[in-house]
Structure 1
């Protein structure tokens, strides 16, 4: 509700033109605003008490006195309510996980438009039609947080182990990126929310609980109304490229572990400095990529029974 709408509602209340629902809205206004970060509990109680006393006086005073109250007390009553509204909005802005609005970039696409966006850390977002994305001009030193406020988007996230990446979607759903690339479908008007992982791993949660952790070729569908989440396997919906240009084997391994949710162990620490120049795609399996890399360096590898751990050796 805007400040102007708040004023109009309060005026209707004092003129006794508000319907029961609007009267109730005014009376519970102060309780719906989280002021704990800006005022003490005693201050909040005092403001609330003052507002109720004056509002009730305006409602139940005899007709001949009501005009005086409207003229003299309206400004003070409105000030009390608007103070609550203003403080509540300020707290919301302060508690937001993203940076203040002036440091934000907001991108909105048309009904038939798609956009490719490169984030400050080099991550890429492919924004679908009728979508809205907000992100800071500069990410914080210890985290990367953006908001997908509407629509669909495909994310290809730059790997930075010490700076976790989080996407804040509608309905209070957060996606913590533990992997590389994934797709999100989040429309405020729809009861369904979807996340699909192309490579790596992501964790999805709302304010109450963890909804699930997804790996490659898995999707999570969440029913907002029923508060129910389901995970299922899917066919690959997209592919990403891995390009290495004189990259050390240690860095290549880090990227593959991140993308495929596997563990790769070097049998000899001296192998870590070997340089690799090659390009791969997520349509290839981790074993296929390792086979090519080992061939380039005249190395060998073996795998665990569950194909989740690989050992590279001479």
Structure 2
């Protein structure tokens, strides 16, 4: 049986970290782990051995200590005369996989973490939509009041964007060697190779939304893959219950200035008013929690016009004074 090449192993390790390996692929990884030599030299020379020894020591030592504890806890008649070396290699490989999945692989190659600097991009509230070209040639659009950041070496070894707050649209330049990922503070990750999609993750709201315009996008939370979306599909992830709902419905391109809101909470409406019109919004959360809104805010609509639409839809009463909207009640 031929052994898989390193590129295949790298892909399978990545899929294993994402939790999307098939049983057949897991079997390939298990055979690869088991293929570590039971005898013979692992390192080419002593210098390579010493170079790797210190960087692997922390991760491997804990695994070996656990191995010894397991053996000491077994009945005496079950203790083997010798710990199989292959078993230790398996545990060592598992420890390395842990380092890979936790983002600590650099410890295998560096004596200490490399300092990472970030470039932060913000779209000022009350201004127009901000368009930015990323170093890899991808484009992104930020709705007013939105913020994100990316590592200064973006595009060289990875293409990871961190969504801090708000709404952003991405047109991703294809690059199969470096997948493009957008992660939110809540742990939702959208991963693509080359496509167009948007991510909505407002700080303080109870859901995160990913909508795909073209291509395909894989969406995951901190535990597993939630789904692979195609054009015209979106996932709405509820943070409180950790549940995801897939929807098949078209979403307007908000980059043109108009924003279509469908079944949104007043909390999201308040975020949009604050960001689009640069005002403060004060309201009783409990009073407005049961209301959901369907409305379109055009690029020409004034704050007063939007407030009157909300009043017509819900019966809410409000005051507007000195840059602050105060919701005073709801007329039944």
Instruction: Report TM bin, short chain.
Output: 0.3 to 0.5
Task: Please give the TM-score of this superposition, normalised by the length of structure 1.
Answer: 0.44
Q: For the pair shown, which has the larger CA radius of gyration, 1 or 2?
A: 1
TM-score, structure 2 as length reference: 0.41
Larger relative CO (CA 8 A, sep 6+): 1 or 2? Answer: 2
